[in-house]
Chains A and B, each alone.
Chain A
Amino acid sequence: MPLRRADIFGVLTASGLLLLLALVLRGSGPDPAEADRLTRLQRLVTEAQLTDLALLTEARYTRHPTQADHFAPFQDHPLALDHFPSGMFWSPRRPAP
């Protein structure tokens, strides 16, 4: 008897879910290599006194959003559209919670 559609579907779906579960578990366990990497990078951040991620290097407020003037709504405002699309991702520095 050929395999039933329902069973094929069940097996495929279950293996997909298991794979997803495995990926979740893989990311949640302790990872010494990852801990080492973080220690090294945190040392660099401290030594170089960095305050920002180097994600967007095109303008001051995208390179250093934490140091930008949040009350200067004109040319330096993070929502200025002169650097579309990246300019619109950045919102001004948030006050600490």
Chain B
Amino acid sequence: MTGWCERQRNILDVALASLRRRRGKNLSLLVVYSLTVFLGASVMFYSAGLKREARLLLSAAPELVVQRLSAGRHDLIPVAYAEGIRTIRGVGTVAPRLWGYYYDAVYGANYTVQVPTLPPPAGEIVIGPGIARLRKVAAGDLLPFLSYRREDLLLQVREILPAESELVSTDLLLLAEADFRALFSFPSGVATDLTVTVRNPQEVATVARKIVERFPDTRPILREEMQATYAAVFDWRGGLLLVLFGVVLLAFIIFAWDKAAGLSAEERREIGILKGIGWETGDILTLKFWEGTSISLTAFLLGTLLAYVHVFLLQAPLLAATLKGWAVLYPDFRLVSRIDAFQLTVLFVLTVIPYTVATLVPSWRAATIDPDSVMRD
């Protein structure tokens, strides 16, 4: 056992010395490789963090939202539908939901305007931290809005939602029903959609089916579907991961290719000498294994640790730029620092193992040359 250990250490020494000898090439390889791991890990940590937030936060979302469709598009739903839905067996409460978008032409920003279950008094609003930041207002300030009748509507900021809620509330503008209707000239007797609670959570799908049967022009949206949407977006195969991982993998294939293409004449000569002076094929493979592993393991560690710093300590500036898109208002949130062994395993399998294999194959071919070849050149 100590013999085995000593042998590995001795060979690792040679491997590191030989990496050091080709310092320039190996350093640049290490940089590119670490960067690849870094990008992959950043995307993975970031999307897993968002996926987790979405799952946990949306577990508090309405159980069932019922929209009305008109000519294939979302339309306002008559509040009278609520009575009909309430008579369906298993339905608990049905409440109209009033929400919409307000476009702030001065700032070019979209606000989500919504009447919560416990709205502020008329004339007052509760705003998300993003709006407060954009409009530079504090609690107590007055904010002017232009109603759909082209009338100025002055609403007083009662409260700013806490910074920790950015991820769900940054563009939120909560107000009283009267103000909502005044702002949008919203007709009475209709709502944006209805939220429905179901007595037995097991029956949500059944209730949804019955609603569509009773009101064929409606579309129910289950809470599970909301969660599934976000799970899909930040999933493995989801858009964000797919796009960024595609780039990462492409870069990876390029240098795996470079490696698999073969060893330099210098490296072959060395392998020949080692064989000649009594190294076995296995010793040479061990040497090449350590050369590959010390690069890939270092890149893996550097990449993941940097990604951790990037995503959780610096709030992922590189990825956030892509996510922000063209929006003027975007959440300034901090993900919970959390990585798990599964993510690391996947990263490891995706980055370290292919590289190691790619470097071992040509080495294996070179290592099986006849030892006497060193005597003839």
Contact = CB atoms under 8 A, between A and B. Distances in A.
Nearest to B67: A67
A57 B221 contact: no
A48 B73 contact: no
A23 B58 contact: no
Interface in A2-59: 4-7, 9-10, 13, 16-17, 19-20, 23-24, 26-28, 34, 37-38, 40-58
A89 B205 CA distance: 28
A54 B112 contact: yes
Given A26-B337, A63-B112, A54 B171 contact: yes
A96 B324 CA distance: 27
A93 B44 CA distance: 22
Interface string B49-89: 01001101111111001010100111000000000000000
Contacts of B53: 53
Contacts, number: 228
Of A9, A49, A83, chain B has the most CB atoms within 10 Å of the CB of A49
B303 to A, nearest CB: 11
Interface string B129-173: 010000000000000000000000000000001101111111110
Interface size class of B (residues with CB under 8 A): 35 or more
Interface string A54-97: 11111010111111010110001000000101111111111111
A38 B56 CA distance: 8
Contact of A47 (B117, B230, B324): B117
A58 B59 CA distance: 25
A54 B329 CA distance: 9
B52 to A, nearest CB: 10
A89 B304 CA distance: 24
A4 B9 contact: yes
Interface size class of A (residues with CB under 8 A): 35 or more
Contacts of B305: 16, 19-20
B243 A45 contact: no
Contact of B225 (A17, A54, A66, A89): A66
Given A89-B238, A96-B225, A53 B174 contact: no
Contact of A48 (B17, B69, B116): B116
A37 B168 CA distance: 13
A65 B234 CA distance: 13
A20 B221 CA distance: 40
Contact of A51 (B58, B69, B327): B58
B109 interface: yes
A13 B297 contact: yes
Contact of B323 (A6, A38, A86): A86
Contact of A24 (B109, B322, B341): B341
Contacts of B304: 20
B337 A54 contact: no
B308 A54 contact: no
B252 to A, nearest CB: 20
Contacts of A65: 229-230, 233
Given A20-B305, A34-B336, A6 B60 contact: no
Nearest to A34: B336
A41 B323 CA distance: 22
A5 B15 CA distance: 10
17 contacts: A16-B301, A20-B305, A40-B165, A41-B168, A48-B116, A50-B57, A50-B168, A53-B54, A54-B331, A57-B112, A63-B171, A67-B74, A85-B322, A86-B326, A88-B243, A89-B323, A90-B239
Given A50-B172, A96-B222, 6 more contacts: A6-B16, A34-B336, A56-B323, A57-B330, A67-B67, A89-B240
Interface of A: 4-7, 9-10, 13, 16-17, 19-20, 23-24, 26-28, 34, 37-38, 40-58, 60, 62-67, 69, 71-72, 76, 83, 85-97
Shortest 9 CB-CB contacts between residues of A and residues of B = A86-B325, A27-B338, A42-B60, A16-B301, A96-B224, A89-B239, A66-B226, A58-B327, A6-B12
